[in-house]
Chain A
Amino acid sequence: MRSDRIKFIVFALVVLLLPLPLSGGYLTNVLIFVGINGVLALGLNLLLGYAGQISLGQAAFFGLGAYGSGVLTTQFGFNPWVAMVVVALCVAVFAFALGFPVLRLKGHYLAMATLGVGVIANIAFNETVDLTGGPSGLSGIPNLAIGTLTFDSDLKNYYLVWCFALGMILLSLNLVNSRFGRALRAIHDSEVAARVMGVNARLMKVQVFTLSAFMSAIMGSLYCHVMTFISPASFGFGFSVEVLTMVVIGGLGSVYGSILGALLLTLLPEMLRAFQDYDIIVYGLLLVTMTIYMPGGLVQGIPALFRLIMPAKKGSEVGNA
């Protein structure tokens, strides 16, 4: 318990001090997206890594958050903060209603159904031209502001996004180490045994699905205000796969692993610009290689590698939470 708290404080300090040596440069900008992607991966990890339920439609909830906020602020004159809350709540209600029929499905069927939701949402973003601007995108979205403080630079947006991210990481850590988190892991290990233990598996799956959609929607709202321009291409099937890859690479069932996966997969494309058009192939290869050789993801794989290279010391420690 105590070591968990110290781990989080160290992590938060690193996050808060990191931009200082970067002095608002290009890397700061990339790290904003690490924060956004990190929370998206974290939301999916709660669903997939803890409860064992897949979703290939996370980009839809992210897109609904972004378009919801974008449309409400540009077309209906909403205050961005109010829009963010309204949109996140609406997406949560939508996910809750969607979750009951969809989460009755398992495995491949669940993957197909959530994939379908993602595709339909993307078509909606493209086709409702009057509201969203269609394929050419929606521009002129205002920056977020608190009083006279407008979040208009990379450094300010970095702190804005990471404050949200740190909050969600802390809440997720609390959640997974509680009665609720235990029940989710129990469903993952043996749904029938969990139900016989009185766990309402169906409801809990829907709840965690809703939570992941809610988190994605909040990040979508932040994304649209940071970018001030959004287009449907950012919320396609490819992005859902990218988020899934982050979770698998970082570590299924690990809160920090989600962030690590997001860090790698956000930095990697920046480094491998040459692969741009083939990125989905690279993600596919990464997914396959990781699931075969490092099923626990990097958070378990890296310590295991160290133990392989330096088998001297005994008393190994397995990374958890």
Chain B
Amino acid sequence: MLSLNGIGKRFGGLTALDGISFEVGKGAITGIIGPNGAGKTTLFNVATGIYPPSCGAVLFEGKDISKLPPEGRARLGLVRTFQNIELFGKMTVLENVMVGLHTQSGSGLFACSFRMPWQMKEERRIRERALELLEFVGIPELADVQAGTLSFGKGRLLEIARAMALEPKLLLMDEPAAGLNSGETAELGDLIKRIRDLGVTVALVEHDMELVMDICDHLVVLNLGTKLAQGTPREIQDNKAVITAYLGEE
């Protein structure tokens, strides 16, 4: 689905990523783990086009997308959520999801200003679909609330609904459980499994090991900008190098 081929990223003298290669398999949940500063978020930023890589290539469904801007990648079905939740704070919850439906609609400046019949029809369709998505993540009652006033947990759910609006083929989630309590984290785990069951491939960066071991089919471990190991959760738990990176030498 998504292949990273020898991705490197330098910020001035700092090497954040050093030749990372791996593949995110279709239909599965892939977890990307590693200690702080391992380069996980940077890797997501490179994969979604927010930073250009210093070297290497990003392939999506076999196509080289390294030169594509974020909006172009979103249109192909490569969508992400953010570690610190990037909502449109001054807009309502429903409007946030409706922005997510931007690529699923096409009315431009003229059709919108003149309220063309097809634009009105499209608007109704977007609104209905957005409500469905809020129901999918379980917050339909918050539709008219201003997004900036949501709690962190609800904001996370809204961000997922908004991302799902794009009908992603691959959903990248950057620390979805960060800031959630254990009850919310468990619900999140179920939600991510439901998303996978819809046929969406999921890759997530996560520190919450319980969640990772519970939902991930496949794990990639990063450390200091390099790939340390990859395999099933079982294999990773027994991997010597991983244990050393997390806990240090004995």
Contacts and interface: CB of A to CB of B under 8 A. Distances in A.
A181 B98 CA distance: 11
Of listed A182, A188, A197, A200, residue having the most chain B CB within 10 A: A197
A54 interface: no
A197 B90 contact: no
Interface residues of A, number: 27
Contact of A192 (B50, B108, B115): B50
B185 interface: no
A186 interface: yes
A86 B121 CA distance: 33
Contacts of B11: none
Interface stretch (B19-27, B78-86, B134-142, B234-242): B78-86
B95 A196 contact: no
A172 B112 CA distance: 9
Contacts of B119: 178-179
A96 to B, nearest CB: 12
Interface string A152-187: 000000000000000000011011001111110110
A175 B102 CA distance: 15
B123 interface: yes
B100 interface: yes
Of listed A172, A185, A190, A193, residue having the most chain B CB within 10 A: A193
Interface in B81-138: 82, 86-91, 95, 98-100, 102-103, 105, 107-109, 112-115, 119, 122-123, 126
B69 A180 contact: no
Interface in B63-85: 69-71, 74-75, 79-80, 82
Contact of A171 (B48, B87, B108, B113): B113
A217 B122 CA distance: 32
B89 A189 contact: yes
Contact of B87 (A174, A180, A185, A190): A190
A180 B80 contact: no
Contacts of A207: 109
Nearest to B45: A192
A175 B112 CA distance: 5
A172 B109 CA distance: 10
Contact of B99 (A194, A200, A211): A194
B69 A193 contact: no
A198 B75 contact: yes
B123 A179 contact: yes
Nearest to A188: B90
Given A174-B112, A180-B112, A192 B122 contact: no
Nearest to B80: A196
A185 B90 contact: yes
Interface string A184-218: 01101110111111111100000100010000000
Given A185-B91, A198-B166, A193 B74 contact: no
Contact of B91 (A182, A200, A201, A211): A182
A281 B136 CA distance: 55
B103 A190 contact: no
Nearest to A193: B86
A193 B88 contact: yes
A183 B100 CA distance: 9
Contact of A180 (B88, B107, B165): B107
Contacts of A211: 109
28 contacts: A174-B114, A175-B112, A178-B112, A178-B113, A179-B107, A179-B112, A179-B119, A179-B122, A180-B109, A181-B112, A182-B91, A182-B98, A182-B102, A183-B99, A186-B99, A188-B90, A189-B87, A189-B90, A190-B87, A195-B71, A195-B74, A196-B71, A196-B74, A197-B103, A198-B74, A198-B75, A198-B102, A201-B71
The 6 closest A-B pairs by CB, nearest first: A198-B74, A178-B112, A193-B86, A198-B103, A189-B88, A171-B113
Interface of B: 48, 50, 69-71, 74-75, 79-80, 82, 86-91, 95, 98-100, 102-103, 105, 107-109, 112-115, 119, 122-123, 126, 162, 165-166
